Amino acid sequence: MAVLRLPGNQPTKLWQGRGERRRLRSMKARSPAASATARNGCFRVLGVDPASAGPTGYGIIESDGRRCRMLHYGALKVAPKRQKECLGAVLQEVHALLCRLMDEFSPDALAVESVFTALNMRTALRLAEVRGVVLLAAAQRGVAVHSYSPREVKASVAGYGQADKKQMQLMVRALLQMTETPEPADAADALAVALCHLQGEQVRQRFGVPDVSRSTKLRAQPRAARAPVPRGDATHNMRRAS
């Protein structure tokens, strides 16, 4: 132990003051700015399961790279009386709901189910109308949209492309560590769509997998930009001779 003797004073222990300063540093609380920075590090996704006649499911989840948690979910059901009074009532309610959710939760991306091709023409058109409203609301708020087929969502979440609604509900509950099974099934499907995009996004960021649509455009651009070679050019004649 180091002791410093000063003239006319008592011995002073140098290590006492240093230890106290260390304890005071460790007791400092985190500032609000640091908490906001940690909160902004989470990736947030809004999942939407559009429906032609039934409820339109929605769910919001976020991940910090290690675990996912559910923030909000539900299903929008427009009353039949309201639908009879106004033909665009469903589209109006869906648009207003999504705009309100995006303003409140500020998602980084929106994931939506694509139109199921096995549906009849009338049902497919109605579903496409609702899906168009979803795309419009996301474009107005500047949120990127990603579309996934029902088979892709089931394979990503449940590991089986033909999983039924009950299996999807149980898997969503397990992956999000929820205390209760999400009801109705439309809300669970929306959470599953959000999980599908979140898992794919984590894989792309972790392993540097390029976007398929972007890589396709990059490959096709040089071919489209390549100018045709005139018939009388020497390069053309050399290719024909070879």
* pLDDT tens sequence across 7-28: 555 544 444 444 444 333 333 3
More confidently predicted of 160 and 52 = 160
What's the chain's length in residues? Answer: 242
pLDDT at 235: 42
Determine contact, residues 93/78, Cβ cutoff 8 Å. Answer: yes
Catalytic residue (one of 20, 49, 201, 233): 49
Q: Summarize the confidence of residues 89-103 as an average pLDDT.
A: 95
Catalytic residue (one of 62, 93, 186, 189): 186
3-state DSSP of 145-214 = EEEECHHHHHHHHCCCCCCCHHHHHHHHHHHCCCCCCCCCHHHHHHHHHHHHHHHHHHHHHHHCCCCHHH
More confidently predicted of 205 and 61 = 61
Whether 233 has a pLDDT exceeding 50, the answer reads: no
The question of whether 186 is a catalytic residue gets the answer yes
CA distance 24 to 30: 14
More confidently predicted of 112 and 37 = 112
- CA nearest neighbour of 187 among 93, 53, 49, 94: 49
Neighbours of 57 (CB within 10 A): 26
Q: What is the mean pLDDT of the chain?
A: 76
Q: Which of 1-15, 133-147, 181-195, 201-215 has the lowest mean pLDDT?
A: 1-15
Q: Which of 1-5, 109-113, 159-163 has the lowest mean pLDDT?
A: 1-5
pTM value is 0.69
Catalytic residue (one of 62, 93, 113, 189): 113
CA distance 195 to 189: 10
